Structure 1
Amino acid sequence: MKSEVAIVMSTYNGSRYLREQIDSILAQDFKDWDLYIRDDMSSDNTSMILRDYEEKYDNIHVVENNNINLGAKRSFLKLVQFVDAKYYMFSDQDDFWLPNKVSLTLEAMKAAEEESSNMRIPVLVHTNYRIVDSKLAELRTPPASFKSYTDLSSLSINNCITGCTMMINQALKNLVGDVVDADSVGMHDWWFGLIANCFGTVSYLPQVTILYRQHEGNVVGANTGMADSGSGSKMKKILRGIRKNLRYYRKEFKRDSITARQIYYFREHYSEILTDDKKRELDVLYKGLIGGPRAGIALIKELKPQSRNKEVKWVMYYALITK
């Protein structure tokens, strides 16, 4: 009998923190889960650690990798298609889950499904996190309101969904399907967020459920806007934060950027089931990103995209109207 929750994990040379992470999942106060792990051709002893856990625990399963390195994004997309459950969670190899992470997220998921009055609509729930160093010492915690926006324009430009805090339901998994052009997908969490917005709902739980470890081996690190922009005076930190975000947006507001390509591919991939309103919104977004200042101004006026905080939002607007 399958468990209510499937937890999927993709590993790659993760032996340093892997046991600590898996042990934190084993310590969850909710027990009706199975953990499926696909190793992406590690060259360290990650595979040995995984086999050790698989032999000891009936609810931990190592998934065949067919001797192929896919990268984190493709590996997670493959995993979610491989497993079957009512709900799906996504685990990095190097974080630490607080004991009530699964139970709190599942409670929020069921509340969101009940509120929608339709168990068959796609739902994505994500939570807050605490950023820690390699030894799990706290660095900072994003404020509860930091990741609260759920509108399509904001999600399309600024992914606020951190995959390792995320749960999706079966209805959303069914819509993922075969992502043929994975190169045009930013990351699996970003793609799932767009699906949830266009066809269902995104729900944010401001409670911290995970210690999000930051170290030199992170594939994708935490992004907290203007925060953590180096040493020096407050003004120097602000100026560095502005320059950092301006460089990012100038890079992404182009036709060949991953942000623009993902919007275009999503519009094409789901064209048969998107509503006219969602198609129009995606068209405004795409034109606003790849076009000149007029298109950028139109995007701002029509959709009012938000960002991680007010300062970053105004940097984003400036980048849109000065292309």
Structure 2
Amino acid sequence: MIDILLATFNGASYIRSQIFSIISQDYTDWRLIIHDDGSTDKTVDLIKELASYDQRIRLIEDNVTHLGPGANFMHLLNFSDAPYCCFCDQDDVWFDNKLTIMHRAFSTLDHSRPQVLFSGAYLWDSSSNCLPRKNFQKKVFQFEDILFHNGGMQGAASMFNAKMRDTINKKYEYVAMHDQILSLAGILYKGIHFIDTPLFLYRQHANNVTAHIPQNKSDKIKVSLANRSIPVVVKKYYDGIIAFYHLFRDEMTESQRRIFELYICYPNYNSIKRFFSILTHGFSCHDSRIQLIIKLLIRPYFQ
């Protein structure tokens, strides 16, 4: 059994195609668990309509709303008890072999430890006639490469085991995004894995919770220049990292704790000390030290 955890909010324009893509999976032993965050459109009505046709679809109605996307996904962990879990965005479209390929890849892993697997995707602008473009997760295995990420690996691309679900299902001081927590835990427990196969369409539209993804080095530079007012460190993700650190620091090595403590202290440093300390300790952003350096040079540091 695989539990698919779908957090929804005002997704009526997209939710039907996403759920149909799940119903069409060639791996059939799944349960779709949905929690809505207080939608004011027809999202819940559409979910109930589809649930009436497929008993594997379960809508949680517990009157808990206005959590925000990250906390809504984390809330869903409380309703899962399957050996495997997937986070699922309301506006994507899954290929019919997504669960089969990810489940097969999991068969070689040690399930006594927390494990998470991330796939690739195709970026898809459904409002244009452009063909989807491949987007692969950056293979990140250490904290130095993710703390400046302002987020985590793409949650919609993940599958994780029950041990990981139980490990991250805690009471946090603050939740920025669910995939930030999942990515940090994968690195902490040396249980983060990647497959390059694109397994779904990651829809790009004006209401995406996370920013659109640049496709190449040229795009990344253009985006960095265009977004000069966006800080290097966004406060909500900074607060999310602090919350993770407070819960898991006893599980970290001394060197890992040192990396977190440096990152947490950097807003208090002057710009010169901070710049050279970041370079000295090998931090990067999206697997690129150059990209991080550019951001440090042209953007405000913290906001």
Provide the TM-score with structure 1 as the length reference: 0.83
**Given that residues 117 and 158 in structure 2 are in contact (C-alpha distance below 8 angstroms), is that contact kept between their aligned partners in structure 1?**
yes
Q: Which residue of 1 aligns with 2:294?
A: 315
Aligned equivalent of 1:165, options 152, 157, 161: 157
SS, match of residue 271 in structure 1: helix
Please provide the CA RMSD for this pair.
2.7
Alignment of 1:9-20 (within 5 A): 9-20=6-17
Q: Point out which structure has higher relative CO (alpha carbons under 8 A, 6+ apart).
A: 2
3-state SS in 2 of match to 1:247: coil
Per-residue Cα deviation, 1:190-225 (whole angstroms, up to 9, x for no partner) = 111111111232111111111011122222243227
Letter aligned with residue 173 of structure 1: R
Deviation string, structure 1 residues 97-119 (Cα, Å, up to 9, x no partner) = 011111112222333x2xxxx42
Alpha carbons of 1:199 and 1:251: their partners in 2 closer, same or farther (altered >3 Å)? closer
Q: Specify the SS of the correspondent of 1:303.
A: coil
Structure 1: how far apart are the matches of 2:201 and 2:91?
A: 10
Superposition map of 1:35-114 within 5 A: 35-66=32-63, 68-111=65-108, 113=109
SS at match of 2:15: helix
SS class of match (2:198): strand
Which amino acid is 2:258 matched to? Answer: R
Task: Map residues 197-276 of structure 1 onto 2, 5 A cutoff.
Answer: 197-224=187-214, 238=221, 240-250=222-232, 252=234, 257-276=235-254
Deviations 1:105-162 (A, max 9, x none): 2222333x2xxxx422111111111111125854552454x51222212122114511
Q: Indicate how the Cα distance of structure 1 residues 307 and 249 shifts in structure 2: closer, same or farther if over 3 A, else same.
A: farther
Between Structure 1 and Structure 2, the one with more helix by share is: 1
Q: Which amino acid aligns with 2:214?
A: T
- CA pair 216-246 structure 1, distance change in 2 beyond 3 A: closer
| Unaligned 5+ runs, structure 2 | none
Matched, 1:299 2:278: yes
Identity %: 23
Which of 254, 258, 263 is matched with 1:280 structurally? 258
Deviation of 1:45 after TM superposition, in Å, equals: 1.6
Q: Is the 8 A contact 2:172 2:247 kept in 1?
A: no
**1:41 Cα offset (Å):** 1.5
**Does residue 122 of the first structure (1) align with residue 104 of the second (2)?**
no
Q: Does the CA contact (< 8 Å) of 1:131 and 1:138 recur in 2?
A: no
- For residues 137 and 275 of structure 1, do their structure 2 counterparts lie closer, same or farther at Cα, with a shift above 3 Å needed? farther
Deviations 1:213-265 (A, max 9, x none): 11222222432276796xxxxxxx94x4232454334453xxxx223322322
CA change 1:214–1:79 in 2 (3 A) is same
Distance 2:204 2:139 in 1: 22
After superposition, what is the alpha-carbon deviation per residue over 1:246-285, rounded to whole angstroms, capped at 9, x for unaligned? 4334453xxxx22332232222112333222321221122
The corresponding residue for 1:27 is: 24
Whether contact under 8 Å (2:18, 2:94) holds in the other structure is yes
SS in 1 for 2:176: coil
- Look up the match of 1:131: 123
In the alignment, the residues of structure 2 paired with residue 251 and residue 258 of structure 1 have an alpha-carbon distance, to the nearest angstrom, of 9
CA contact (8 A) 1:225 1:308 kept: no
Q: Is the 8 A contact 1:246 1:315 kept in 2?
A: no
2:141 matched residue in structure 1 = 150
Count of residues in Structure 1 that have an aligned counterpart in Structure 2: 300
Taking structure 2 as the reference length, the TM-score comes to: 0.88
Q: Which runs of 5+ in 1 are unaligned?
A: 230-236
Give the distance between the partners of 2:258 and 2:70, measured in 1 at CA.
28
Tell me by how many angstroms 1:320 deviates.
9.2
Q: Confirm or deny: 8 A CA contact 2:152 2:184 kept in the other structure.
A: no
The letter for the 2-side match of 1:177 is N
Contact preservation (8 Å) 1:294, 1:321 = no
